[in-house]
Chain A
Amino acid sequence: MKLTFSAEDEAFRAEIAGWLRKNLVGEFAALRFRGGPGDEHMFPAERKRWEQKLAEGGWTGIGWPRADGGRGCSIEQQVIFHEEYARAGAPGRVGHIGEGLAGPTLIAFGSEAQKLKYLPGILAGTELWCQGYSEPGAGSDLANVKTRARPDPVGGGWLINGQKVWTSLAHEADWCFVLARTEPDSQGHKGLGFFLVSMHQPGVVVRPIEQLTGTSEFNEVFFDDAVAADIVGEPGDGWKVAMALLGFERGVSTLGQQMQFQNELDEIIRIAKSNGAAVDPVIRQRIAEAHTGLRLMRYNAMRMLSGSDSGHDQASSLVYKLHWASWHRNLGVLAMDVLGPEAEIIESAPYNLTRLQSLFLFTRSDTIYGGTNQIQRNIIAERGLGMPKEPKGKLS
């Protein structure tokens, strides 16, 4: 076991930290500690320009293979990048769905032509993506998607019809990857396709959904004979591609996410010390517990990234989502309790929340998106402990 980084890796750390110090200035200075879950609605235009700045610096797709235009960095270097990025307070990435999900999926399953067509826009930070999985009738039960894809009699490709929901950043996105049925009567995992659909066409309508925070980061998306530019893999492969993509969600960026959590916890500790909450024995216990939970989350992620057990369903990665989501939700509650009655006072009317209020409210979604806590527990029990699978019901 080895916890320390090599001299080469430390040099890489100095490089990215230095670049951020030099570039996170001027018009970008206002973006520090902004964006990211719960704050996605803020500064969209500036953050898009920041994506391009990052690309100019060569800091997009750092974990992608060199052959695909990436930088081919080792896991260690990716970890360092994400840590330094969050440490510097660099803004939440509007490009993360493209870079973290669409890109790796195309690299794994896309044709050469598709890679050439889509990867450069992702790397340059000029084309943003959204994820069209959930539907009104298919959330936890993702295999229940009803959106249809039918062969386009004119263009020869596919036409998409149906509705997606909770689509994060659809209002900013240029592209959406859509899970849809290629065989009309198919059920469950079968007969699905994984489509790439341009958001800039008449058959696509995006309708923002107002969240309990009063802001809108996710949307309803309606497809009415929308043209799919491409299908990744064969018709019928959709489930396989879609699930592989979900695997990319649990990646190296988890350590950067933790640095963001650390920034939040630091802020809570700062407040507790200044308003006197730090002497309350119960608050002390909860702060210590939060600190412990975050440190242990880090060690667990390090084990996960080191490939601690054999097999891809290793237990340290199975438990990861449930752990961070529950921890972060509790942090939101702790923030309010440390603030006391001040927690109630918002920044301004009509409903402008402070960062910690957004944290408190938004973290209620952490235990829902990306697989609810309940679905995570099912997966842990079934794959991690070999307990029986959930029975599947049939209505009517």
Chain B
Amino acid sequence: MEFRFTDEQNMIRDSAAAFLQDVSTPAAVRKAMVTEAGYDPELWRRICQELCFQAITVPEAYGGMGLGQVELAAVLEQMGRVLLCSPFFATVGLGVNALLLAGSEAQKQQYLPAIVAGELTATLAWTGPQAARRGGQWGCEALGAEWQKTAEGYQLSGELRYVIDGHTAGLLIVAARQAASQGREGIALFCVPAGSQGLNRQWQPGMDQTRHQARIVLNQVCLPESARLAPEADGAAVLETLLDLAKLAMAAEQAGAARQVLDMSVSYMQARVQFGRPVAGYQALKHKAADMLLKCEVSRSAVYYAACVAQEAIDPDGDKTLAGELREAAAMAKAYCSDTFFFNAGTAIQLHGGVGFTWEYDVHLYFKRAKASELYLGSGAAQRELIASLLLG
């Protein structure tokens, strides 16, 4: 048992932190977030060329760095800290994971090197409006598109929502169900390139401006046989594992962002003087900050553990017992980090007083991101119900 970053992982974390603090300044975030794309392509190019983060989990055989989920979590944590506007979460936390988990050799050959080269971004599209109903369920119940078999391959139709970077991604991995199928039956995943006929994508502006999402309509999109991921596999199981990995990735971002709003609050409180001393000296505020730090530390423990488990789950030779914990570990990380980030961001507004309520101060950007990322993939309560069902049936 050695539950700490290796020197190499520390180095990756530190270089990510240094670079991101430099480039993803509050001014840069505010500039990028009001564009339709939602990110600065020039900065994305630099990330891809100078740091190669997009290649982090891609095996060396496809030109990637061949690192794992722990390194990915370490980088995402730093991205969360600075609210980096980029297609990283969608491309690596969703798209690459889908290809790694269920892509055919030909699909990996086709897409992974392009992603590594920084030429292609990707995302996962699966939720219809259903995700907003039924207690915020984001699993198989929420699929918004249907597929049918045709003579040439497949045809997809339906409406997808809350698709992160869905309007800009070069590759959509779409999860759909066979027409008239139910529950966990009939689920399959497809590679849908951006230019496909019948694909209609629109930016859906959101309250959280730092991460853009799209509404996508599939109108009889025709795909060849070769577009289907792992045709033999249980599509529902693949989708569920993908969502577990997505929860972990989101939790890693949340943990970083939660720590950042704490640090912002502490430095504000050190500088702000009331009643003749820095407000940081008042115990009511110190205790709030202590609670925030506790939640941050526990969040990090949750994320790193889930990342280790995820690695075992992805690695074909991984420890099966640990791999079996993925569903629970990811749900726990998402639940705890969602609640932590929202608590910390909300508390940060309070600790900043009036300026915390201004557009000019950055705290609100975190507060809005906190709510958005909490609701995406299911809130803390939804995760807890999943955990309860594992424990109690």
Contact = CB atoms under 8 A, between A and B. Distances in A.
A285 B302 contact: no
A322 B294 contact: yes
Interface stretch (B122-130, B182-190, B383-391): B383-391
Given A292-B387, A299-B304, A316-B301, A3 B1 contact: yes
A285 B266 CA distance: 32
B115 interface: no
Interface stretch (A27-35, A156-164, A376-384): A376-384
A183 to B, nearest CB: 31
A380 B290 CA distance: 6
A323 B305 CA distance: 18
A306 B5 CA distance: 10
A297 to B, nearest CB: 8
Interface string A275-308: 0001001001101110110011101101101111
Interface stretch (A36-44, A128-136, A193-201, A386-394): A386-394
A302 B294 contact: no
B290 A288 contact: no
B359 interface: no
Nearest to A373: B287
Contacts of B280: 387-388
Contacts of A281: 385
B392 A377 contact: no
Contacts of A376: 290
A377 to B, nearest CB: 4
Contacts of A382: 286
Contacts of A386: 266
A322 B336 CA distance: 17
B12 to A, nearest CB: 13
Nearest to A278: B392
Contacts of A143: none
A281 to B, nearest CB: 8
Q: Name which of B9, B270, B294 has the most chain A CB atoms within 10 A of its CB.
A: B294
A264 to B, nearest CB: 15
Contacts of A318: 293, 297
A303 B304 contact: yes
Interface string B288-330: 0111011011101110110111000000000100100000100
Interface residues on chain A, size class: 35 or more
A274 B283 CA distance: 45
B281 A292 contact: no
Contact of A306 (B1, B269, B287, B391): B1
A1 B266 contact: no
B4 interface: yes
Contact of A388 (B281, B287, B307, B392): B281
B6 interface: yes
A2 B1 contact: yes
Q: Name which of A380, A384, A387 has the most chain B CB atoms within 10 A of its CB.
A: A387
A76 to B, nearest CB: 5
A75 to B, nearest CB: 8
A299 B293 contact: no
B335 interface: yes
Contact of A296 (B269, B283, B302, B322): B302
A269 B287 contact: no
A316 B391 contact: no
A284 B385 contact: yes
Contacts of A289: 384
A258 B151 CA distance: 59
Given A284-B392, A308-B4, A3 B293 contact: no
A346 to B, nearest CB: 27
B2 interface: yes
A393 B391 CA distance: 51
Interface in B29-52: none
Q: Name which of B2, B328, B385, B393 has the most chain A CB atoms within 10 A of its CB.
A: B2
Given A284-B385, A289-B384, A377-B290, A300 B283 contact: no
A387 B297 contact: no
B286 A381 contact: yes
A318 B298 CA distance: 11
A212 interface: no
Given A1-B9, A4-B322, A292-B387, A306 B4 contact: yes
Nearest to B262: A385
B238 interface: no
Nearest to B328: A295
B261 interface: no
Given A299-B301, A303-B304, A387 B286 contact: yes
Nearest to B321: A4
A249 to B, nearest CB: 18
B275 interface: no
A352 interface: no
Interface of A: 1-5, 76, 79, 269, 272-273, 278, 281, 284-285, 287-289, 291-292, 295-297, 299-300, 302-303, 305-308, 315-316, 318-319, 322-323, 374, 376-378, 380-382, 384-388, 390-391
Given A1-B307, A288-B384, A385-B289, 13 more contacts: A1-B3, A5-B1, A272-B392, A300-B297, A300-B301, A308-B5, A322-B290, A381-B286, A381-B293, A385-B262, A385-B293, A387-B270, A387-B286
12 contacts: A1-B4, A1-B9, A1-B308, A2-B308, A273-B392, A285-B384, A288-B391, A299-B305, A323-B298, A378-B290, A380-B290, A388-B281
Nearest 9 A-B pairs (CB), nearest first? A381-B286, A288-B384, A380-B290, A377-B290, A299-B301, A284-B388, A388-B281, A288-B387, A302-B3
